Amino acid sequence: MNKIAIYPGSFDPVTYGHLDIIQRAVSLFDYLLVAVVENPTKKPLFCAKERVEMLRDVTSDLKGVEISCFNGLLVDYAKERGVSVIIRGLRAVSDFEHEFQMALMNKRLYPEIDTIFMMARETHLYLSSSIVKEIASLSGRVEDLVPEVVAKRLYQRFNR
């Protein structure tokens, strides 16, 4: 049986930090489902369809990766898709407390699922989608933080 993992997130937008986790996770599992979360309480810069398109563009060379979108509980989507492992990226100790709570609750809701935490590479420890959006909105350069296709969309969104 294939080991399927899911890497959920808002990916608004996808950064090199996200891509690093995706590339490393795909080498550990038979199949990686990268799942864009549609959260109606958040106001993303890019709609879910745009985020899925960007992820598909930047992962098109990776085998065993599927990009999808979902709303609702992650564990419900994971059950539906036959997922056995949740991948979560960590940048700092401050990320861990929230992620640890989520992992425990996911395990309670779906005992068959495990969560694996992957540390961001040192070069990506400071990187977040929020920081990228702020830099782009203030006319800063983001080419070193996100793939070219994502940088272009950010510049278009901020009319640059």
Choosing from 24, 79, 81, 91, the catalytic residue is 91
Please report, for residues 35, 84, 104, 111, the alpha-carbon distance to residue 3 in angstroms, rounded to integers and kept in the order given: 16, 7, 21, 16
Pairing of strands 31-37, 65-70: parallel
Choosing from 51, 124, 129, 133, the catalytic residue is 129
Q: What percent of the chain has pLDDT over 70?
A: 99
Given a cut of 70, whether residue 160 has pLDDT beyond it is no
For 4-122, which CATH superfamily applies?
HUPs (3.40.50.620)
Please report, for residues 1, 3, 27, 107, 141, the alpha-carbon distance to residue 10 in angstroms, rounded to integers and kept in the order given: 29, 23, 22, 21, 22
How far apart are the C-alpha atoms of 136 and 118, rounded to whole Å? 27
How far apart are the C-alpha atoms of 144 and 68, rounded to whole Å? 26
pLDDT, tens only, 74-129: 999 999 999 999 999 998 777 888 999 999 999 999 999 999 999 989 988 889 99
- Is 94 assigned a catalytic role? no
**Every domain of the chain and the residues it spans:** 4-122
